[in-house]
Amino acid sequence: MIHLRVVAPRQTAEKALEVLRAEGSVCNVIHMPGVAEKPPGDLILADVAREDASVVIDDLRELRIPELGSITLDSIDTQLSEGARRAEQHAPGLPSDAVVWEEVESHTQENTELSAGFVAFMVLACLIAAAGILLDQPILIVGAMVVGPEFGPLAGLSVALVERRTDLARRSLAALAAGFPAGIVLALLATLAFKGLGVVPEEFKPEEHEATGFISQPDFFSFFVAFVAGIAGVLSLTSAKSGAVVGVLISVTTIPAAANVGVATAYGAAGEALGAAAQLAINLLAIVLAAVTTLFLQRRLYAARRRRHLSDPARRDPGLAPGRSRDAQTAGD
């Protein structure tokens, strides 16, 4: 279940109450008139089945509530309520498969900011991966996978492409364009420093790095693994399941390749550097392609569900026209 907190002017709040009362997937509706101070208005609390959350929220958006007040979403982990059980039964589908698009947009916006923290994690991940490559230690590669934060901007870019949001696309691309070069440059400088200190060999011999040699040798499975990882990452994001293991899977296709570009460049191994760069490009393309395809299909399913909801005659009560939406994008058209 999703808990909604709605703040709206009195007249708009009355229409919002009609929307919530008419929807069978909504329960525990509470109305507190005049309690909101900034902005002034009413407070409405309600619980909605996760499967219908975005559909109900889109109706509230048609009432211009985000412009006049606010809509806040919170996930409910546990609720003992027969009314909630009936609301979930009314909504078709399973809660575990439901996509709350407002949550997806919020999560991707938070993870696409070009911040000092993001760049720091990219650099640290590449430094760990560089050490793993130099020592031919897969365990260090796994450590770099855990630290790498790159899936946030990749997911944000995919959402931006599906929803045609140029602002989100610009932020995502800016984070990727800054994070990867920073990681590559620091991996290069660190390798040069290691060589200067004499803690690594003077020459880089690929045949001596059997456990990590795959990083600079792109092939069919490079694309395949990255594509599958992209699907897994999006499903993890949209189904609100834990993404820890998925993050590791996705990072293996990007961070080590970026680090290897820096390591190989420091050794003057042009072939290795080009192979790692090709690996990185293939993996990034495959992840975004898989993510966009998955999100597009999920969005089409939601659009069909939204269109069915628009034909509900109950939309007339709060002044919403049956059969069409005031916002074509909201309706998923």
Find the mean pLDDT for residues 166-189.
95
pLDDT tens per residue across span 254-275: 999 999 999 999 999 998 999 9
Residue 43 confidence (pLDDT): 96
Dist CA 314 CA 333 (whole Å): 21
Are both 6 and 140 inside the same structural domain? no
Closest C-alpha to 218, from 180, 256, 168, 265: 256
Is 50 exceeded by the pLDDT of residue 81? yes
Half-sphere exposure of 107 (CA within 13 A, CB side): 23
Domain count, the chain: 2
Task: Check pLDDT > 60 for residue 331.
Answer: no
Element of type H or E holding 165? none
Q: What is the pLDDT of residues 198-241, one digit of tens each?
A: 888 888 777 777 777 778 888 898 899 889 988 988 888 887 55
Residue 285 tokens read as: 């393309």
Is 216 inside a domain boundary? yes
Same domain, 191 and 281: yes
Domain boundary among 98, 133, 153: 98
Q: What is the mean pLDDT of the chain?
A: 86
Q: How confident is the model over 132-147, as a mean pLDDT?
A: 88
Q: How far apart are CA 203 and CA 293, in angstroms?
A: 43
Distance CA 207, CA 74 (A): 53
What pLDDT score was predicted for residue 195? 92
Give the 3-state secondary structure of residue 161.
Answer: helix
Range of the domain at 90: 2-98
The string of DSSP letters for 198-258 reads: TSS-SS--GGG-TTTGGGG---HHHHHHHHHHHHHHHHHHHTT---HHHHHHHHTTTHHHH
Confidence of residue 120 (pLDDT cuts 50, 70, 90): very high
Residue whose token pair is 């990007």: 254
Same structural domain, 117 and 243: yes
What local confidence, expressed as pLDDT, does residue 325 receive?
A: 59
* Partners of 74 in the β-ladder: 3
Residue 239 and residue 106: Cα distance in Å, rounded?
14
- Clarify whether residues 243 and 120 are in a common domain: yes
Tell whether 36 and 164 lie within a shared domain: no
pLDDT of residue 241: 56
β 26-37/70-75 pair status: unpaired
Query: Does 330 have pLDDT greater than 70?
Result: no
Least confident of 97-111, 176-190, 220-234, 289-303: 97-111
- Residue-wise over 87-118: b if at least 16 C-beta within 10 A, else e? bbeebeeeeeebbbbbbbbebbbebbebeeeb
Q: Contact at 8 Å (CB) between 29 and 20? A: yes
Higher pLDDT, 6 or 326: 6
Q: In what order do the strands lie in the sheet with 70-75?
A: 26-37, 40-48, 2-8, 70-75
What local confidence, expressed as pLDDT, does residue 326 receive? 53
Does residue 309 form part of some domain?
no
Does residue 158 sit in the same domain as residue 90?
Answer: no
Question: Does residue 270 fall inside a structural domain?
Answer: yes
Q: What integer pLDDT is reported at residue 291 of this predicted model?
A: 93
Q: What is the pLDDT of residue 249?
A: 62
Domain termination site, one of 47, 70, 98: 98
Question: How far lies 320's CA from each of 4, 73, 133, 214, 327, in Å?
Answer: 20, 22, 60, 57, 11
* 140 part of a folded domain: yes
Same domain, 137 and 275: yes
Query: Do 50 and 117 sit in the same domain of this protein?
Result: no
pLDDT value, residue 247: 58
Q: Are residues 153 and 224 in the same domain?
A: yes
Q: What is the pLDDT of residue 77?
A: 83
Residue 83: inside a domain, yes or no?
yes
Give 219's contacts (C-beta < 8 A, 6+ positions apart).
Answer: none
Looking at the structure, tell me whether residues 229 and 138 fall in a common domain.
yes
The percent of residues in the chain predicted with pLDDT above 90, rounded, is 50
In the numeric block, the tokens 């993001």 are attached to 118
Single out the residue of 43, 60, 95, 53 nearest to residue 74, CA to CA.
53
d(CA 123, CA 127): 6
Domain boundary among 72, 98, 124: 98
3-class secondary-structure state, position 112: coil
- CATH code at 12? 3.30.70.120
In a domain, 49, yes or no: yes
Q: Is the per-residue pLDDT at 322 higher than 70?
A: no
Residue 31 domain flag? yes
178 found inside a domain:
yes
277 pLDDT more than 90: yes
225: which 2 tokens? 């693994």
Above 60 in pLDDT, residue 246? no
Residue 185 and residue 123 share a domain: yes
* Per-residue DSSP letter, 8: E
- The verdict on 197 and 267 lying in the same domain is yes
Confidence of residue 332 (pLDDT cuts 50, 70, 90): very low
Least confident of 9-23, 34-48, 95-109: 95-109
